[in-house]
Structures are given as structure tokens and as C-alpha cells.
Amino acid sequence: MKTISWRWIFVALILFGGWQHWHSRPLELPPGSVAPNDPVQTSVGQGMVYQQGKYELEALANFDIEARVLSKEKYFADRESELVPVDLALGWGAMSDSSVLEKLSISQSGRFYFYRWEDEPPRSPSEIASHSANMHLIPTSSALEEKIKNVRVGQVVHFTGQLVEARSSDGWHWRSSLTRDDTGAGACELVRVESFEAL
């Protein structure tokens, strides 16, 4: 029986790393808003609750959004990752325009989304805040989870579902924001995702 040479293992790792880097690189788009419309939030029937594993998800509103991916962060170690393995920072309107985004530094950490600029902001701070958000996405199937995990920064995505409050029997809970103009702790959307497409 032949043994596998360490050299070939090393080559395979290099090729895999190169493929991962190529696949995850940001997608560059020309100037102009590529997701011009605001998210659509509509009322939902009282008492609509979904079971997801050991969690109950109470629907607070229906949600439909088309937006540009500004940043993506995967989570593994926190309790929330049982429901939300990926957060997407998303932008629409002016915050989907490359000429605006190139003047901002964008990052994610600890379930938060951060942006900063040098000298002057490319848009008013209130417009930046109200046209972007960090969204915690709860996939309702393994296929949706893979789609969300494989999305590239810069892509435009469209997804639908519900803004929810998640609860468990030990008293833990996590509630979605219901507005787009809030900032800081509690300002992120917690979305039960029923459909997801990268456009």
C-alpha cells in the first residue's frame, strides 16, 4: 500500500487555501446603488410561534429585504451560534453604493457591526445608520444555512422571513429590533429566514 507523500498533502493544502481565498474575496461593483429600496416590514398575526430545536421563535413582523453584503462573520463558540451561525452586515440605498462604501472601514465583532471614516463621512451619520444594519440570521434548513455561509461580501442578497424574539425554557431570550434607525446594543435584526438568494 502506497503512503501519501507529505509534499502532496502540502500542495493540496495550498490549493485549498487558494480556493478558499478566491471564493471569499469581496465582490467589486461599479458606483451606484445596487439595492435602492428600503426593507419591507409588515405586521404578523398575534401569537405566531415557531419551534427551532430547543428554542421558541415568536414572530414580531414579516420581513423582506434586498441589500448588499457589507461584511460577514461566522460564529461557533457563543450560545447564540446554536441559532445564528452567521451575521451579515447589510446596506441598502446609499449604503449599497461603492462610491460611498470605499470611504468607510467596515468590520464585525462580538455580534456587532462597526463602521468608521477618515475626515468627513461620505453621507450623514444618520443616513449611514438608517441604511445599514447587522442582521442575525436564523436559517430554517441546512440548505439555507449553506447559502448564507457561502455568500460573498459585495453580493446583493434577497431574503424573506420574520423578525422574531427567541426564547428557551431556562429564561434566555433574544429580541429583534423593529426599526432601522436605532444604533448600539439591541439595534440588530434577528431574522428567521424562510428564503435566501444571492443575486
Query: Does 103 have pLDDT greater than 60?
Result: yes
Cα 69 to its chain centre, rounded Å, is 7
Greatest mean pLDDT among 10-14, 20-24, 106-110: 106-110
Rounded-to-integer distance, Cα 31 and Cα 100, Å: 8
Please compute the mean of the pLDDT values over residues 157-171 and round it to a whole number. 97
Evaluate whether 106 touches 89 at the Cβ level (below 8 Å): yes
pLDDT category of residue 31 using cuts at 50, 70 and 90? confident
Residue 47 has a pLDDT of 78
pLDDT category of residue 9 using cuts at 50, 70 and 90? low
Going from N- to C-terminal start, the domains of the chain cover: 29-198
Residue 16 has a pLDDT of 45
Query: Does 85 have pLDDT greater than 90?
Result: yes
pTM, two decimal places: 0.85
pLDDT, tens digit (0-9, with 9 covering 90-100), for 110-150: 999 999 999 999 999 999 999 999 999 999 999 999 999 99
| Residue 125 backbone phi and psi in degrees, to 5 | -55, -35
Query: Does 20 have pLDDT greater than 50?
Result: no
Choose among 103, 127, 129: nearest CA to 188.
129
Residue 21 has a pLDDT of 40
Residue 86 has a pLDDT of 97
Please compute the mean of the pLDDT values over residues 95-116 and round it to a whole number. 96
Choose among 99, 100, 35: nearest CA to 67.
35
pLDDT, tens digit (0-9, with 9 covering 90-100), for 34-64: 999 999 999 998 879 999 999 999 999 999 9
Residue 12 has a pLDDT of 46
pLDDT category of residue 19 using cuts at 50, 70 and 90? very low
